[in-house]
Amino acid sequence: MKKITFIAMMLSVSFMLFSCKSGNKTNEETAEVPVEVFQVDDVLANGGELIGQEVELEGVCTHICKHGGRKIFLMGSDDNNTIRIESGDLGAFDQNCVNSVVRVKGTLVESRIDEAYLKAWEERELAKTAEQHGDGEAGCSTEKKARGETGNTALDRIEGFRNRISAEKEKSGKEYLSFYHIDATNYEIL
């Protein structure tokens, strides 16, 4: 009986030693794969391929939403290339984000503007039930710039989107416009 117990113990020790040695990897094998950090321009240009994926990107924060601080805008190569970042469960963004380089991790979300969206918006405007953002009827100037809008009233903005959808339909056959934002899960001021 003692022999069987001794043999079983030796086999167990041998198995543990073998397992530990075979599990060892060199530093090269265990090194973390670097995460690709996108620039704003890259995300805007390739957004259709990244929808629903977790991405990291960085850019200069040009604006933080005054209504709760839960949205920031990161600028790409110029102020015509900006993307909205929403804080979600993170709460309000730190005010120090503005004019700083910010790295954000989160999920890329596509928002589509089509005729159904525009009709619903138009109905809310005419019924005076539309939620207001920004300083006055024209809406948030930073959000408008990010989406390439030029209208001075909500109805002008709606008409502008209709014209752009018509042009997009002629060009690509799509009857909608795509805009992207990031639902942030983490961020840091660099």
CATH number where 173 lies: 2.40.50.140
Position 150 in a domain: yes
Position 2 in a domain: no
Per residue in 141-178, is it b (16+ CB within 10 Å) or e — as a string? ebbbbbbebebeebeebbebbeeebeeeeeeeeeebbe
182 close to 109: Cβ distance less than 8 angstroms: yes
Contacts of 78 (CB under 8 A, 6+ apart): none
Of 83 and 125, more confident: 83
Which of the four pLDDT bands, split at 50, 70 and 90, describes residue 13? very low
Report pLDDT for 100: 97
What is the pTM for the complete model shown? 0.74
Which of the four pLDDT bands, split at 50, 70 and 90, describes residue 137? low
Phi/psi of residue 37, nearest 5 degrees: -100, 115
Position 29 in a domain: no
Position 143 in a domain: yes
Position 46 in a domain: yes
Position 179 in a domain: yes
Position 51 in a domain: yes
In the block, residue with structure tokens 């002008």 = 156
Residue range of the domain that includes 94: 37-189
In the predicted structure, residue 101 carries a pLDDT above the cut 60 = yes
Of 31 and 3, more confident: 31
Highest mean pLDDT among 22-26, 109-113, 153-157: 109-113
How many independent structural domains does the chain possess? 1
Position 12 in a domain: no
Q: Environment class of residue 6 by beta-carbon count within 10 Å: exposed (0-12), middle (13-18) or buried (19+)?
A: exposed
